[in-house]
Chain A
Amino acid sequence: MMKINNLPARTWNHLNMNDTSVSLDLTCAGPLDYEEELPAGVDRVTGRGISPFSDRPLRTGLGTEFDMAMGDTGIKPSGYIVSEKNKIEMPVYQTFKYDSEDDCNVNLMDYTIGENGCLTVIQNFVSEETAKEKTAIVQNRYTIAKGGSLTIVQIQALSDNFTFFSDIGGHIDNDGNFKLVQIILGGGRNYYGSFTDLVGKSSKVDVDVAYSLNRQQTLDMNYVGNHCGKLSESDINVSGVMKGEAKKLFRGTIDFHCGCSGSKGAELENVLLIDDTIVNQTIPLILCDEEDVEGAHGATIGRLDDNILLYLNSRGIEKSEAYALMERAKLDAVAGQIKDKRTRDYVAAKIDEMTA
């Protein structure tokens, strides 16, 4: 058993939120041959494409044990390098179609963004509805040099037969920024983690996650904004809808280390609960070793407000439609963060399919 999504500061054991134990058989794991559209200006290399600018260990959201297990698979990472001042306008499109007979696919991706370089990566995870039981793992690691910018957009619409792991982590230098947008529409058992090491002064991370869970789907999350640089900023927004017998555990941590004066961090969770049979757990955490910082967290968790429901009913919209409207609104709000129109349209169509 492996422990993943470890909370940076442990809480009561009986809450079962400190970490999650998973059993992962990686003996037959191999990479999926994904489809890619690579714009000009991005250097593609095989092997660890990360060039750390500091000697700090690079951590990921799912945690050290998981990261080591990925290294032990011997699977060669796909590296992407954007040289300094190279602002790539077109996104890298990566489509992961899990239609092979493999039991477990592992893809390791490394991104190195040079000074003032800029890149957007759009990852789309799909499968047939009838796909067999399998495990899909994607790890994205990055370093963003001074003034650089990396955006990763993940859209996951796998069948319920999938166990899906998305592990993300990286370093950001002065004035660099990382944006993560995740739309989670599928997968039976989902594990998501992102650890952003805000090393540089005025480095910034924005995380926007939307999910819709139904049936017996599970989602286990761990997002960390690790503030080390002065004036660094983190913003974590997670929004979702839970139905059926779905289970969700959200861990969100803003960790202010000594020396990160003037930094700001905020995390906000918004969950719409539709059925009584769901299990919803949340642990927002702000850790503070520095006095001159601003940290905030908030959560709106509950059913549809009675006044809103009445207003929608008063226009002929029945309860189930009202909930579908609100579900769509939550997903749309995060999908709206995606700048690429082609991807936005794709997500809109997927959401249409799901909420129809």
Chain B
Amino acid sequence: MADLLRISGLKASVEDKEILKGVDLTVNDGEVHVIMGPNGAGKSTLGSVIIGDPRYEITGGSVFFDGEDITGEDTDKIVKKGIFLTFQNPIEVPGITLANFIKTALEAQTGERIKMWDFKKKLEATMKVLQMNPEYADRDLNVGFSGGEKKKAEILQMLMLKPKLAILDETDSGLDVDAVHVVSKGVEEYKKNVGGALIIITHSTRILESLKVDKTHVLIDGKIVTDGDAALIDTINEEGFERYTA
């Protein structure tokens, strides 16, 4: 399998505070990687820096995607290459419906006008997979959505945009068992139909139950301190992060 994402010695700061202190990570086509770590380790920052969040300053290292150096590029240009990040706290955007937002994003990605009829059909079918009430399509983006509906809306966007790499930032946090099940089903659907790679940032393992994890990484204090296969998840669950923080 070819390199899809290659991060080398990545350092990033926010307001002069260094958060990432030299991260190395390689994700190949179609692989599923899990990033675990205690609160404040820099897991979410890593996702944000990959997509070029301007709040973070990259102070060292590089990010290559699909053979191209994307370090420091604008967010919209990076994600158009095929990267998708789910937000931990999806933003409410009054005035723009969920459907219009996804359609605009798809058009931005392809550079072509999308036929309304085809789009609606596809959107409805995808919402059905996620057990979303179709009325949500015409509601303002994330406005008044419950925590679960917001996370489903993120997965819906992922399924519609079909990225080569999806980064799920604690998509399962704050969800009840049923909602996690639905979100997991959406992730499975992504793997089955899109076949893209996944980086899953998580504290829990519920979302991983139906996925074949290729690699697990432990991020502590801005650095990946250990890597392993799926078995590392169980080890962490049993022993916690203490042995890596000492």
| Contacts from A to B (Cβ < 8 Å) | 307-308, 310-319, 321, 325-326, 329-330, 332-333
In chain B, residues 61-97, which have Cβ atoms closer than 8 Å to a Cβ of chain A? 74-77, 79-80, 85, 87, 90-91, 93-96
B109 CB contact (under 8 Å) in A310, A316, A333:
A316
The answer on a CB contact under 8 Å between A314 and B79 is: yes
Chain A residues, CB < 8 A from B101: 312, 315, 325
The answer on a CB contact under 8 Å between A311 and B91 is: yes
Chain B residues, CB < 8 A from A311: 87, 90-91, 93
Proximity string of chain B (36-54) to chain A, C-beta cutoff 8 Å, 1 when within and 0 when not: 0000000000000001011
A307 CB contact (under 8 Å) in B79, B91, B161:
B91
A-B contact pairs, 9 of them (CB 8 A): A311-B90, A312-B93, A315-B161, A316-B79, A316-B108, A317-B108, A321-B108, A325-B100, A329-B96
The answer on a CB contact under 8 Å between A313 and B95 is: no
Distance (Å) between the CB of B25 and the closest chain A CB?
A: 20
| Contacts from B to A (Cβ < 8 Å) | 51, 53-55, 74-77, 79-80, 85, 87, 90-91, 93-96, 100-101, 104-105, 108-109, 157, 161
Knowing A311-B90, A316-B76, A317-B76, say if A333 contacts B95 (CB, 8 Å): yes
The answer on a CB contact under 8 Å between A314 and B85 is: yes
B95 CB contact (under 8 Å) in A312, A315, A317, A329:
A329
Q: Output the nearest chain B residue to A333 by Cβ-Cβ distance.
A: B95
The answer on a CB contact under 8 Å between B80 and A316 is: yes
Chain A residues, CB < 8 A from B108: 315-318, 321
Bound-complex Cα distance A222 to B217 (A): 62
The answer on a CB contact under 8 Å between A310 and B75 is: yes
Bound-complex Cα distance A326 to B95 (A): 7
Bound-complex Cα distance A315 to B109 (A): 8
Distance (Å) between the CB of B66 and the closest chain A CB?
A: 15
Bound-complex Cα distance A317 to B80 (A): 9
A314 CB contact (under 8 Å) in B87, B95, B96:
B87
The answer on a CB contact under 8 Å between B95 and A332 is: yes
Listed from nearest, the 5 A-B pairs whose CB atoms lie closest are: A329-B95, A315-B105, A313-B75, A311-B91, A316-B108
Bound-complex Cα distance A42 to B124 (A): 45
